[in-house]
Amino acid sequence: MAGKRATINDVASLAGVSIATASKALNGRQDVRAATRERVLAAAAQLSFQPNALARGLLSGQTRTVGLLTSDSVGRFGIPVLLGAEDAFGAGEMAVLLCDARGDAIREQHHLRALLSRRVDGLIVVGESTDPRPSVSKDLPIPVVYAYAPSEDPGDVSFVPDDVGAARMAVGHLLALGRRHIAHITGPSHYKAARDREEGLRSALAAAGVAQAGRTLWGAWSQRWGRHAAEMLLMSEPSIDAVFCGSDQIAAGFVEAARERGRRVPDDIAVIGYDNWEVLSTETRPALTTVDMNLEILGRTAAQHLFAAIDGKATPGIHKMP
């Protein structure tokens, strides 16, 4: 046998069983006697038999490969989701094929055709924002799960962060600290994430019977906007004692500008960010209080539900993750 890879024929011959029985025993099928299974497994171990993935796939109808299609070319939110998904797939010995469409619909169609040609068992589509995206499921013969950006089709399986609940939690934290004049600086109003976070803020303030101090300031997801908004806010609303920022970038810019104006954080103004982007949250002085979207857990959960969908147990709807 030196230099030659053992085949299932070799295993069956050594164990003294048919190829069909050897295959059943190796695949853990129940209709094989325990003594026979032990004999087959012992033969496989003796021969250092490694099942051929392609042959096994042809027999089972599955290739044990999945596609991960992302449009988040920056990777800011997509990469943690992908890492979580890969963790789940690794535990099940699935091979993962990653394709980046870079937000281009034509490139996305090309990747979808390529993944189908490789007979993947299922697909996770990862978005670059929480805005709903067009469904690809109806055109595909395999299960699809959407992560971070939900599908526009409510019949699809989608996993998204609970931005409303998270904002409610963040503002509740500021209220628990005794802050009552809370302002909000966030990203562009056409982003669903920004609108959801503002909704959570208003909900928390209303539940506490506290009026929002000043209007919500909408802008860019950037430190520059955080600095600019701080200058406007500190001039027009000097009684502000807390700010909930829609991203860590905005919060870092706000802290910088507040310090330049002689306002102490958190003594004079408490600041809370969003994303737990450690490049900023741990490097800001003082270190930033922030909301973590648990994106790796979101990715892992999406992968687990893709497993279920491959087994015919899909869980349609938009699932909000804490």
Q: Which of 15-29, 88-102, 132-146 has the highest mean pLDDT?
A: 132-146
Instruction: List the domains of the chain with CATH numbers.
Output: 8-51 (1.10.260.40), 65-161+295-320 (3.40.50.2300), 163-292 (3.40.50.2300)
How confident is residue 1, by pLDDT bands cut at 50, 70 and 90?
very low
Please name which of 289, 309, 278, 295 lies closest in space to residue 87, comparing C-alpha atoms: 295
Q: Rounded to the nearest 5°, which phi and psi values hold at 144?
A: -130, 135
pLDDT tens digits, 237-268: 888 999 999 999 999 999 999 999 999 999 99
Count helices and strands (H / E) in the chain.
12, 11
CB proximity list for 180: less than 8 A, separation 6 or greater: 210, 241
Question: Are 161 and 320 within 8 A, CB to CB?
Answer: yes
CB proximity list for 205: less than 8 A, separation 6 or greater: 171, 175, 182, 211, 212
Give me the pLDDT at residue 125, please: 94
Give the integer Cα–Cα distance in Å for 171 and 299: 26
pTM of the predicted structure, to 2 decimals: 0.78
> Does position 53 have pLDDT exceeding 60, yes or no?
no
Q: Rounded to the nearest 5°, which phi and psi values hold at 196?
A: -65, -40
Question: Are 143 and 309 within 8 A, CB to CB?
Answer: yes
103 dihedral zone (left: phi>0; alpha: psi -120 to 50; beta): left
Give the integer Cα–Cα distance in Å for 240 and 242: 6
